[in-house]
Structure 1
Amino acid sequence: MNHKFALYIAIVTTALVGCSGNDSTETVAPTEITAPTSEASVPVRDLGGLVVTIASWAEVKEPEVKVNAYDEALWEYRNEMMEKHNFKFEELALTKWNETLELFSTSTLAGEPAAEIFRFQSNYQASAINSGLAYDLTKVESINLDDPIWHEQVIEMSTVGDAVYGIAVEFEPKMGLYFNKRLFEEAGLDPDLLYDLQASGEWTWDKLWEISEKLTRDTDNDGVNDVYAQSLNLSRLFHIATLSNNGSYVGRDEDGKYFINLSSPETMEAFTWAADYIAQDFDLYPENWAGIDQLFLNAKVAMHIGDEWQAANFNREMEDDFGFVCFPKGPRATDYVVGMSDATWVIPNTFSPEEVEDIMFALELWNTPPPGYDGPDDWMTPFYPSYRDERAVEETLAIMFNPANAKIDYQNFIAGSVKTDGVASDVYWRSKTPAESVESMTPIWQVEIDKLNAAGNK
């Protein structure tokens, strides 16, 4: 396995000046040389024992046994920075994911925030931003919000007017396509076919349909399919199809107003395609929703719409080799798209500007790659152990982690109030056409959109 590491070499050049040896009596003024300031002469920023806590629903602790060299370097660097700058950093499970907003609001209003930073699941991000209790990060002088370390789509989602109330360093790619290489071979397909199509730009809805026909097979000729193309996750299929066709469920205009985008040509085309796809019997529906991943693990289906984090589970539990690609492009898209709905960090506005400067300084240090892993491709290093091949990391994740390929859908902002996957359910059970389902849902969604816009105007 080849890893790319950046090599930085400092070259010090000494200029030698000699006399010409002539009889000239001209006086030459000496050149004033200013010695560069050494790193050692710059005062170390002392945070005075500050403890920065992220309030989350999961605890992140330094593992006793590091799984690889990257983890060793990362925690060594973090501990070195904490000692050097005299601070501590921790992420604690102080609340449940759906109770973070309550903890943030009550403790901040009481003037005693339960943490320096709160982690919000995307369903509650808008409420946190519009609460009037979040600190405007554009006022933090010591950080640059345009720095690549801060994810630009997260900042865009967290912007209200000229203010930015949320931040994150990365997001977890949502809704890529896992595939079983053995089942591809048994269907007469190259096991790396999807990688090759993705690399050539030919990975499209039409290709998925064509491949699904070959993967769905009755292997014992009893009239019942034994292998299906996909496990059927209705909400994910409809949503990633929408994003991959340059559509969305909820958009936001130039004035920051949210609007329902279900009836847009891009979204309606995606709904129609997804409805036609599931009507072909390409996918297998599990007996219960919790068993959908098991269908892929047990080789009952050849493909599976899943998130990046699932790779580690598949790698640990799956007997067959698997690959991972983006969902194919729809006809209205020019590039592959990855869904985005990860958590966002918010700082309470009860902290003083000086305190927030220190909090953000510590947060940036905590998320800085360790020396030796800060080259342009070194971010890939921690991902290799989760996959069976390098193409998943070097090709697919390279696309997915490019912010330009992350599609924002503000439907997450209302997902806690309305059933945003209702279109898929209505269509699957044949109760409505996509157009009829959108028409019936629009008034219900509009109520929540109006609330969202009203809160943003406060």
Structure 2
Amino acid sequence: MKKHLFILLALSLGFSSNAFAADRDLGGKTITIANYNNIVEPDEKFTTYEEVLWEYRHELMDTHNFTFEQKGLGTWDTMLELFATSSLSGNPAAEIFRMDPRFTIAAMNSGLCYDLATLDSIDIENPMWLDTTEEMMTRDDSVYGVFTTFAPRRLLFFNKRLFEEAGLDPNLPYDLQASGEWTWEAFEEISQKLTRDIDNDGLTDVHAMVFDHAKFFSMAVLSNGGSFVEKNEDDMFYNNLSSPETMEALEWAAAYAQKNYEIFPTNWKGQTAMFINAQAAMVIADDWETATIKNMDDDYGVVLFPKGPNATEHVVFTQDSAWVIPNTYSKAEAEDIAFALKMWMALPPEYDDPDAWRLASYANYRDDRAVDETLALAREPGVAKVDYSTVIGAAVNTNLFINKIYINGLTPVESVEAINAVWQAELDKVNGVPGIVAPK
């Protein structure tokens, strides 16, 4: 997989730098991204694209007189501290820091991120930057971080052989998704048929789903137009658990979990393995997990989660990192840093195609419909969704909330009542003001 990292990164952008200023000189500066690991030019290029990409990057560095590097200076959970301590000292450890989604809001609230909206060298509205990251990192008219690599999460993988053995068309989820009929109701009907006692001993031999209850409940909420935590027009976060859309989704997910369609793994890492071993016909997994799933014996397909009755379109969950620049730099310095970042993340002109990302994705999936239909749908405007609960802080813990329903047997209403005060206290802390509530 490592040999594909640069392809996946660049192809996901769909943008080249051919419109950028050709005569800009950065004076030999070295621009460093503080990453979780070193990302260097591979000694051996495995594809024509890699050869073209690195040749293009060297050309850009020569033309604009700069050096760009990505160094492993921290881990996902130490990067915020490195960013804060080094920036406060007046000597940032890097020009750009990669922030894990769980720390993006904390980074923004630290007051140490440069407002990228004030820079001329980076067009925030350019399609090379993810809309979801921009939305997350916006406060009033200021934007404090950008990112490029789109990674769809919580996709629904299905085993085609088990569908056929249950008397179902192996491409049924694809067809329902294409027709707009991939709904909770259709999903439940399919789940009932997939859950089978093959040898008539009274025990279920094949389940519909390997169950990660945290992922299932959260996708039910998103797929019905709900959310755990929302942001109002004043950029203040509020608890959205009691909204009609969210409560309906929680009730449906809780009811689904009572029907014996699911098999619960013995450890939290076991979901994918149980799907690969055909113990269940479906599993919710992230795009990156195709590295393992694609080698399974059975054929499989991939669709988005079915939509709820309050939704008009399908959704996919995403959880974006953010690149931030310390505000200790002068405007001239920040302009150069932003310019170098834009250069480095650009596509070579010959690969400047909005659909270029497909080339890398085909090799990671078993059939073309996963790419041409499901991943293409995931990239349509408004389909990718972020729930703000993922970036608020440890106290807003959706897993513990869902555990109260699925494991402890509380009703959704009882579970909401049990955590409301804890969540509100954390949201007040993040907002910096008391008592922000959902809009009427």
Same topology, TM > 0.5:
yes
1:120 paired to 2:78: no
Larger mean CA deviation between 391-400 and 59-68 belongs to 59-68
Q: Does structure 2 retain, via aligned residues, the 8 Å contact 1:174–1:339?
A: yes
1:425 aligns with 2:403: yes
Q: Does 1:166 align with 2:166?
A: no
RMSD between superposed Cα atoms in Å = 1.8
TM-score, normalisation: structure 1: 0.87
Q: Does the 8 A contact of 2:272 with 2:293 survive in 1?
A: no
Whole-Å Cα distance in 1 between the matches of residues 115 and 248 of structure 2?
A: 39
Deviations 1:247-303 (CA, angstroms, capped at 9, x unpaired): 000001011111000010000000000001111111111111121211111111111
Quote the Cα distance in structure 2 between the aligned partners of 1:135 and 1:159. 12
Q: Contact 1:176–1:325 at 8 Å: present in 2 too?
A: yes
**Aligned equivalents of 2:128 and 2:380: distance in 1?**
12
Contact 2:132–2:320, Cα closer than 8 Å, also in 1: no
1:423: Cα distance to partner? 2.7
CA distance in 2, matches of 1:405, 1:76: 35
Instruction: Tell me, yes or no, if structure 1 residue 96 matches structure 2 residue 75.
Output: yes
Deviation at 1:172?
Answer: 1.2
Question: Does the aligned pair in 2 maintain the 1:311–1:387 contact within 8 Å?
Answer: yes
1:224 aligns with 2:215: no
Tell me the equivalent position of 2:374.
396
The match for 2:29 among 50, 63, 66 is 50
* Matching of residue 61 in structure 1 with residue 40 in structure 2: yes
- Which segment drifts farther, 181-190 or 325-334? 181-190
Give the residue type in structure 1 aligned to 2:332: E
Identity of aligned residues (%): 50
Alignment partner for residue 221 of structure 2, among 242, 267, 279? 242
Where 1:441 maps in the other structure, the secondary structure is: helix
Instruction: Return the index of the structure with the highest Cα Rg.
Output: 1
CA contact (8 A) 2:389 2:396 kept: no
Q: Which is further off, 202-211 or 62-71?
A: 62-71
TM-score by length of 2: 0.91
Amino acid at match of 1:256: D
Matched letter for residue 418 of structure 2? S
Which of 145, 161, 166 is the aligned partner of 2:124? 145
Which of 111, 133, 138 pairs up with 2:90?
A: 111
Deviations 1:285-328 (A, max 9, x none): 1111121211111111111101111112211x311111111001
1:344 Cα offset (Å) = 0.8
| Equivalent residue number for residue 35 of structure 1 | none
The structure-2 alpha-carbon separation of the partners of 1:320 and 1:43, relative to structure 1 and needing over 3 Å to count, comes to closer
Task: Please report how far the alpha carbon of residue 389 of structure 1 lies from its aligned counterpart in structure 2 after TM superposition.
Answer: 0.9
Give the aligned partner of residue 265 of structure 2.
286
Q: Which residue of 1 aligns with 2:438?
A: none
3-state SS in 1 of match to 2:246? helix
The partner residue of 1:215 within 184, 191, 194 is 194
d(CA) in 2 for partners of 1:71, 1:300? 39
How far the C-alpha of 1:455 sits from its partner, in A, is: 7.7
**Contact 1:234 / 1:424 at 8 angstroms: preserved in 2?**
yes
Matched residues in 2 for 1:43 and 1:192: separation? 49
Aligned pair 1:447/2:428, yes or no? no
Distance 1:199 1:162, change over 3 A: same
Per the TM alignment, residue 71 of structure 1 is displaced from its structure 2 partner at its CA by 3.0
Name the CA distance, whole Å, in 1 between partners of 2:161 and 2:377. Answer: 25
| 1:16 matched residue in structure 2 | none
Measured in 2, the distance between the counterparts of 1:403 and 1:190 equals 30
- Which amino acid is 2:178 matched to? A
Q: Is contact 1:373–1:379 with CA below 8 Å preserved after alignment?
A: no
Unpaired segments ≥5 residues, structure 1: 6-38
Matched length: 416
Specify the alignment match of 2:336 in structure 1: 358
**1:295 is aligned to 2:295:** no
